[in-house]
Structure 1
């Protein structure tokens, strides 16, 4: 079966990888999307339900941080899926996952802010 010009252009040629690897790559992409949706829901929840816990400025900062992190993860998941698919097609090493340290740092910062605010 021939791939469309669009997919050939996005995937940059190469050889078709084992379908199991492509499907594993898709499952990983979907896991990142679920994480992004959870952070999106968390950002909305902070803004909607934390009015009595945090001041307006803190609530907005936490909410926007969570929403930006969700947006970053969602966009990065797509780019990561494509880079991994290309690497598999050209039998190159898989790219370093920049998404993981970014999520860890972002989650740590939000958690530290929440802990400090709850403790005070």
Structure 2
């Protein structure tokens, strides 16, 4: 399920109760373009979703430097489009993602 628009944690509990186990948490391009960072409100909502039992795919302007913010969240995947497509050296950025993931989550990959 991709989370954007109007939803509540009660909605998320209902989704989990009927079998949803993964959600995509998306920070919109407009929010990123306006300078909005991954803030405490986003992180608190993601942590609450994790506590419900949902694994999250996180997207929306993710960079390797952002990954430590998500340490306490049940991350299934990071969807990194612009960070790779807009990079002068996409292979280096991909390597940076892998290094951060290994550093934070102990090298465990699906």
Q: TM-score, normalization: structure 1?
A: 0.25
Structure with greater proportional helix content = 1
- Considering only CA atoms, is the larger Rg found in Structure 1 or Structure 2? 1
Q: TM-score, normalization: structure 2?
A: 0.27
Structure with greater proportional strand content = 2
